[in-house]
Structure 1
Amino acid sequence: MPTAQTAPPVTAFMLIKTTPEWLAMTPRERMDAFTTQVVPAIRSKTTGVRSRFYDTEFYSTRVTDVWVWEADDHDAYQHLIDALRETPFWDRYFEIVDLLVGTENGYARTYGLDPVATIAT
């Protein structure tokens, strides 16, 4: 019996840069702002999203952080962006430098090929 094919998750690489307002806060104030202003908005308006956060300020001046999001589908991703835009995260604490959005191994699915990936030996 064939299995139902599901849409691949949407992955978004959110390239961001800290603002002077964010940097003027103490580390505790930053964590409090994030957990009381940003996280509740995401949780109340989205489902099916997961994230990882990477610091890049030691290597780049244009992009200080990369927030990697995985959403179950494009609708979940859209709700995420809508939620973030309604918080101080968006253009107040961070400047959104770029959004790179895609699906993993999309070319392989399009052409019915096995994905090419490297494996550590």
Structure 2
Amino acid sequence: MSTDTTEPPVTAFMLVKTTPEWLALTVEERVHAFTTQVLPAIQAKTTGVRSRFYDTEFYSVRVTDVWVWEADDHKAYQLLIDALRETPFWDRYFEIVDLLVGTENGYARTYGLEAVTTIST
């Protein structure tokens, strides 16, 4: 039985689709936009947020990218979303298709169980 009483991080899978405006930018312009418009907004509004980005346009026409955001808690996640909404990335460069938010192994925490995981060797 698990005795961990700390709050689990909040993980958000943000499913997005690039817009023609974003695709019209060069790669250098895209990197510049992210580092000068998105990162400063996030850093100014919240702490305890990490991100990973996955390209899916090779396999899906509805969702071109999945952004995985992990926040230390619900407040950090809320501040992250508020920050992102104030940048051109929200509904200008990317259409937000869906947000899937959860906590890892929430069922195990709810029922006081060890998390069931898989290991492949």
TM-score, with length taken from structure 2? 0.95
Alignment correspondent of 1:15? 15
Number of the residue aligned with 2:84: 84
Partner of residue 103, structure 2: 103
| Farther-moved stretch of structure 1 (111-120 vs 82-91) | 111-120
What does residue range 40-119 of structure 1 map to in structure 2 within 5 Å? 40-119=40-119
Question: Considering only aligned residues, what root-mean-square deviation do their CA atoms show, in Å?
Answer: 1.2
| Cα distance change on mapping 1:4 and 1:101 into 2, 3 Å | closer
CA–CA distance in structure 2, aligned partners of residues 29 and 58 of structure 1: 22
Take 2:34 and 2:69, find their aligned partners in 1: how far apart are those partners? Answer: 16
Secondary structure in 2 matching 1:119:
coil
Question: What displacement does 1:5 show?
Answer: 2.3
Aligned partner letter, 1:8: P
Cα distance between partner residues in 2 of 1:71 and 1:64: 23
- Shift in CA distance, 112/38, structure 1 to aligned 2, threshold 3 Å: same
Q: Aligned partner of 2:66: which letter? A: V
Query: Which stretches of structure 1, 4 residues or longer, exceed 6 Å deviation after superposition?
Result: none
**Offset at 1:78?**
0.1
Count of residues in correspondence between the two structures: 119
**Partner amino acid, structure 1, of 2:96:** I
Identity of aligned residues (%): 84
Where structure 2 has 5 or more consecutive residues not aligned to the other structure, the ranges are: none
Q: Distance in 1 between matches of 2:24 and 2:116?
A: 44
Q: CA deviation at 1:4?
A: 7.7
- Quote the Cα distance in structure 2 between the aligned partners of 1:51 and 1:4: 24
Q: List gaps (5 residues or longer) in structure 1.
A: none
TM-score, length basis structure 1: 0.95
Task: Tell me the distance in 1 between the aligned counterparts of 2:4 and 2:94.
Answer: 40
